[in-house]
Amino acid sequence: MPQLLGSVHRLGAFTAAALSGALLVLSFPLWGHPGAAWVALAPLLVVLHSTRSTRLAFGLGLTTGVVHFAGTLPWLTQVMTEFGGLTLPVGVLLNGLLVAYLALFPAAFAVIVVLLCTRFGGWALLSAAPVWVTTELGRLWLFGGFPWELLGYSQTSVLSVAQLASLFGVHGVTLLVVFINSALALALVGPREHRARVLAVATGVAGVVVLFGAWRLTDNRLVRDGTPLRVGLVQGNIEQADKWDPAMRTTILNRYLDLSRQSAAAGARLIVWPESATPFSFEDVAAGEAVRQLARDTGTYLLFGSTQRRRDPAPQLFNAAFALRPDGETAAVYRKMHLVPFGEYVPFRSLLFFASPLVETIMDFSPGASPVTLKVGSHRISTAICYEIIYPGLTRSFVRRGSQLLTTITNDAWYGRSAAPYQHFQQATMRAIEQGRYLVRAANTGISGVVDPYGRVLTRSALFETAVITEEVRLLSGFTFYGRIGDLVAYLCLTLSLTGVLTAWRTRV
């Protein structure tokens, strides 16, 4: 009978862990709702509270992570099979390896929470928030990082909550969400006499955050400050299969030229094309002169993505963004710094013998060396290329170098109509709130749009439509509190977590 009860308990524990993973999936687009995030980790935390085995804790956290990332990232299999030349089984295997790696972070979270609860008692459940932020920092930096959909992004559309990012970044929003989860869990399993107090404190903290967010949104000063600039976004809507077809080169280029002239006629002074918009390496092909002539004819600044080749001292290929002045000359070139694994380079290439089509198809890009800003008249702007926009520190470095407008250019055609384009747009929106800047996003097949400094989406395109968006933004100076301190709060969480673990470990030894 004790064995049977133990098996039932373990089954219930793993069911709760899987439920947390499912609720995490349902916290993000396309099918999710931000409300799910406020309770997503509570089932896992409830079972961790009564767990004393770090091995069991690891298994529970791993279960949560596998369900979470398998449900959030299924579109990666589609990318690798459709565009990487892999068979479906190999694509599933590679995606599974990534999911398994990412699941190690919730597993580490669970182990640390159990270790702290064992040493300091049930109240240590409230340590879950800084510990979770610590594991997300690990996901941000280890092996180049893969910080897709950190938990704080779930609140991007809840504007009164998302304003917290202007103080402490997306990690600050994560800290709040996990704290509420831990308070709910403690109210369910903690001492009865303290449950009301715990819920009251959690409600108070959330209330203060909402009041701050409401005040910031009402204040609204950033939409009145700064210098106005009319920006045009061109969504060429080029199928991925057509993008590098030599027979389509003239058609693709003419589409961008024609749409840009429409935007210039509507008053755009800066026109933005997506990542790799030119169907050729801009500096190496005579057709690039047509792009320079467009700038001269319209008297506009142009920002667009293209590849750049360098052969000194060794051959290098960059994913780059070019800024042209109205005289057609190149004002600046930014080279992408954070490259996409399995898209722009293959990590552990020699070990992935079973994925030879992908390894042979992908030519490794070289990373750029510095966060270059781009001059538009007397002002400076910046651009993050595709996946880079999910790195908050990079965007902050642009602003610290004088960027008054955030832009991001991307090609999300790889993702089809999956959740990925919506998740990508959501994460880009958070950068506007963090830095107190307008953000404009040009995407090949969508979603293109303009976001104000409070995270309000002023306009956006649909997926897989040819579109031109012309909208007024404002070039802003000054820094948010987060712009000044960066991820200090997140690193304080790391310090607290490490201190707690070391203390608990010494006690055990």
Sign of the dihedral defined by the CA atoms of residues 447, 450, 456, 460, in that order: negative
User: Using alpha carbons only, what angle is made at residue 206 by residues 200 and 212, rounded to the nearest 5 degrees?
Assistant: 135
SS3 content of the chain, % helix, strand, coil (to 5): 55, 15, 30
Give the whole-angstrom CA distance, residue 231 versus residue 470. 6
Q: For residue 283, what is the DSSP state?
A: G
Burial class (CB in 10 A: 0-12, 13-18, 19+), 138: middle
Q: 375 catalytic, yes or no?
A: no
> Which candidate, 372, 340, 270, places its Cα nearest to that of 76?
340
Please, which contacts does 176-179 make with residues 24 or more away whose CB atoms are closer than 8 Å? 176/129, 176/152, 176/205, 176/206, 176/209, 177/37, 177/38, 177/151, 177/152, 178/41, 178/128, 178/129, 178/132, 178/133, 178/151, 179/126, 179/128, 179/129, 179/205
What the block records as the tokens of 73 is 């990232």
Give the whole-angstrom CA distance, residue 495 versus residue 254. 54
Say which of 117, 136, 149, 336 is annotated catalytic.
336
| Residue 473, SS3 per DSSP | strand
- Per the CB < 8 A criterion, the answer to whether 256 and 277 are in contact is yes
- Per the CB < 8 A criterion, the answer to whether 268 and 303 are in contact is no
Say which of 117, 136, 149, 275 is annotated catalytic.
275
What the block records as the tokens of 69 is 């990332």
Q: 275 catalytic, yes or no?
A: yes
Give the whole-angstrom CA distance, residue 331 versus residue 27. 42
Give the whole-angstrom CA distance, residue 310 versus residue 66. 41
Say which of 136, 344, 386, 434 is annotated catalytic.
386
Cα atoms in the 13 Å half-sphere on the side-chain side of 102: 26
User: Catalytic positions, please?
Assistant: 275, 336, 386
